[in-house]
Amino acid sequence: MKKILKSTLLSVVAGAAVMMSTGCTDLSETVYSQLTDDNIDLTNPRDLSQLLGGAVTNYRYLYCGWDAMWILGEMSTDQQMIPTRIQVGWGAQYINLHKHDWGVENVALASTWTFSYQGISYCNRVLDALGEETDENALLRSHVRFYRAMFYYHLFDFYRNVPIMKTTNVEPGYLPEQEGAQAVYDFIVSEFADIKDKIGTERLFGYGNKYAVCMALAKCYLNRNAWLGTEGNDGFEAALTELQTIIDEGGYSLAPNYLDPFRENIEGCPEVIFAIPQDRTHTAQWTMQSYAFPQTGLEAYGSTAAGFNGSCAVPQFIDTYDPDDKRLAATWAMGTQHYAVKNGEDDYTPNAGDPIPFDADDWSGTGYLTYNQNVHSIDNPGAYQQEGYRIHKYEIPGGNNQGTTATDVAVFRYTDVLMMKAECLLRLNRDKETAASIVTEIRQRAFDNPTKAKRTVADLEGGSRYAYGHNEYTSEGCNDWGTHITTYEGGADIVLGGLFDDLGWEFCGELHRRQDMVRFTTSGGGNVYNNKSYFCKDATTDSYRNAFPIPNTAILANIKLKQDPNYTK
């Protein structure tokens, strides 16, 4: 099959995106109604793009959209949050994500669920249209099944007990049955396993291949004990086998620079295994910068994207970085901000001009926009406008950005393959020096000093540097830090805490942290996600919060769905 160019895919997906905004129920007919058994060419990139356009569109909205999966996953962790912004007037709906006291009405719950099932429905329609698997359609069916399995992978990660739908050929009024966590997990693994040797090894930007499937399987195996409450090393052994296949056969490699996989266009980046494609003309859906930056803050990048001054870093996480770690500045915008310098059309040098005036809540006394690491609280009184470092790890392109940015998003990258291998080796108590050398190799991009880059087995097996504990200021006034409510738990009791830290620095903002926090445990047996306090979130033994409740909208739509009773108390 010929290489499917990003522009070819996106020109078709753009049509699907238009339909998404006007009526999702007609999406499938719009995308592939002109393709029939008589005129479809399964080796033609354009035909493949038309058939898969709706799946790609829904996956983009699921991952990148406003109040969707990225918010649900990131803002409930110890790295990022969306506080109530004093004098800005929004943020209150995200407080329960940070405090881990969410209920069934959170808007991100509904969006994540809805986009997932819209994508699954679309994939099922395509599979129904293709009919039974044949030698001629096996490759195409595998691509569609890959996307369907990815939707289920995310649903399972967030909700566990969900309905499995494999076809749209059902009776009117049909309501799917809810499946238990083990059944859903087994279905996802069986789907990936079945298509692994059918989907091919070619790198088709925006689509899966054998190595993306291996990566998805490795994720399932690595997290199996944490997700299902099982024990033993079988999952780590199985994950290691999938990872080694990618290493031995895939031909991927670390990019020279840490930020290479986060540029506007990452087609051709040597470490990208599976990505969400976007561009300024057809699809610009990445809303991360809109959550994080005030409008004037985007002028530091020459961007016209919308900025609402919301999300920011949890201060305690920032304190874990080594000051010489280049990933700190690469990930977070901090300190005084400067106008971008325009070099040509849509070509800007960020933060290279004069300081940006900003008088509101001027804690610095300079009159310029200056991001302060410290944040008062999540809601009492909340955060002042310049509080909190802002994530800019994904490139914010200069020029016209249509409200949101068009940066491609790497879902699976080779760095994660290597780090997962290191984790499996450590958990299996095997070749631990190899694990340390892997982490050291990855850190070499982040440190100029080789000594700083080096990690030993003792480092990785030691505790975390994170100073866990409740840590907020309830003083009112942007310069008043007098009322400090604080406890100290530290991170010394986290098993493999050094590795946990390295995962945090490397994969910040990549929908990685929540899975890691659920998987990594303390010496007392609880996981970091629940059993540690940070900022305004207090430790709890409520392990049911490893998964989110089924959104109330879904419960009302299907009487066969049963809510986790812990969420109905």
Per-residue model confidence as pLDDT tens digits over 181-193:
999 999 999 999 9
Distance CA 284, CA 286 (A): 6
Residue 139 CA: distances (Å) to CA of 110, 135, 136, 199, 292: 33, 8, 7, 5, 40
For tokens 């200021």, the residue is 473
Query: Nearest 5°: phi and psi at 257?
Result: -120, 145
- Residues 77-105 have a mean pLDDT of 93
In tens, the pLDDT along 141-176 reads: 999 999 999 999 999 999 999 999 999 999 999 999
Containing structural domain, residue 156: 1-77+101-179
Position 282 in a domain: no
Q: Look at residue 48 in the predicted model and tell me its pLDDT.
A: 59
Q: Are strands 469-473 and 534-535 parallel, antiparallel or unpaired?
A: parallel
3-state SS string for 117-139: HHHHHHHHHHHHHHCCCCCCCHH
Contact 464, 497 (CB under 8 A): yes
- Among 463, 465, 312, 340, smallest CA distance to 398 is for 340
In tens, the pLDDT along 465-494 reads: 999 999 999 999 999 999 999 999 999 999
Q: Whats the size of the chain, residue-wise?
A: 569
Position 44 in a domain: yes
Distance CA 227, CA 243 (A): 20
Contact 438, 421 (CB under 8 A): yes
Tell me how many domains the chain contains. Answer: 1
- Residues 86-108 have a mean pLDDT of 90
pLDDT at residue 402 tops 90: no
Q: Look at residue 85 in the predicted model and tell me its pLDDT.
A: 95
- Residues 354-376 have a mean pLDDT of 91
Other CB atoms within 10 Å distance of the CB of residue 363? 17
Distance CA 66, CA 264 (A): 19
Position 330 in a domain: no
Tokens at 90, concatenated: 């929004």
Position 50 in a domain: yes
The pTM assigned to this predicted structure is: 0.92
Higher local confidence (pLDDT), 36 or 513: 513
Position 64 in a domain: yes
Position 133 in a domain: yes
In tens, the pLDDT along 204-232 reads: 899 999 999 999 999 999 999 999 999 99
Quick one: what percent of the chain has pLDDT higher than 90? 80
- Residues 332-349 have a mean pLDDT of 94
Q: Look at residue 9 in the predicted model and tell me its pLDDT.
A: 42
Using DSSP, how many helices (H) and how many strands (E) does the chain show? 22, 13
Position 369 in a domain: no
Position 151 in a domain: yes
In tens, the pLDDT along 446-459 reads: 999 999 999 999 99
Beta carbons within 8 Å of 134's beta carbon, 6+ residues apart: none
SS3 25: helix
Distance CA 500, CA 555 (A): 36
